[in-house]
Amino acid sequence: MKKFKEHWDIHQNWQLILPFLGLVALGYSSFKLSNVFLKDDNIILTLLLSGVIFFLLLKLTLFIFNKLEKKWNVTYKWEMISIFLVFATTGSSSLFVSRPLIKLMGINKDNLPGFAYWILYIIIGFIFYQILLVLIGWFFGQYKFFWGFEKKMLRRIGFKRFLD
């Protein structure tokens, strides 16, 4: 455990929750992906495929961690896990928030052409994604990182004058 804490720069026990949540999220994603690939109810085959997908996703995640750790300039490695969890949570949450809002506005596939519906859906989801990114980032203790990330993204899409 000591080696694990040293590798991820964990100095307090509460920080152990982040690698644990990351592994749980990776395991859940692996299981859901294996269910997509295997449509039958063979639990042994599903668990075996889940294990393979988990291993591959873990390798990919650690590779991405190493690349982004240098780019994002974080103080501790455990903060990378926190940042990844914020991105994952925000992506899912923006769908849950924007879907009911679109229904409340009366927008559906019946009263709009398919491309218009999906364009509006993406725009509304993108707006809520930006808001939730900062809020969930604050909840995970990464407000400074995500506010800087958000300002940089908004500048790139043309909102520079509102941020200065």
Residues 49, 16 share a domain: yes
End position of a domain, from candidates 20, 43, 73: 73
- Residue pair 81/18 in contact (Cβ under 8 Å)? The answer is yes
Domain that holds residue 20: 1-73
Averaged pLDDT for residues 135-160: 87
Exposed/middle/buried for residue 13 (C-beta within 10 Å: 0-12, 13-18, 19+): exposed
Confidence category of residue 162, pLDDT binned at 50, 70, 90: low
- pLDDT (tens digit, 9 = 90+) per residue, 9-64? 788 888 888 888 889 989 998 998 898 888 777 888 889 999 999 999 999 988 98
End position of a domain, from candidates 52, 73, 94: 73
By percentage, how much of the chain surpasses pLDDT 70? 97
Residues 109, 81 share a domain: yes
Residues 85, 64 share a domain: no
Q: Is 112 left (phi over 0), alpha (psi -120 to 50) or beta?
A: beta
Averaged pLDDT for residues 118-130: 87
Sign of CA dihedral 123, 81, 16, 27: positive
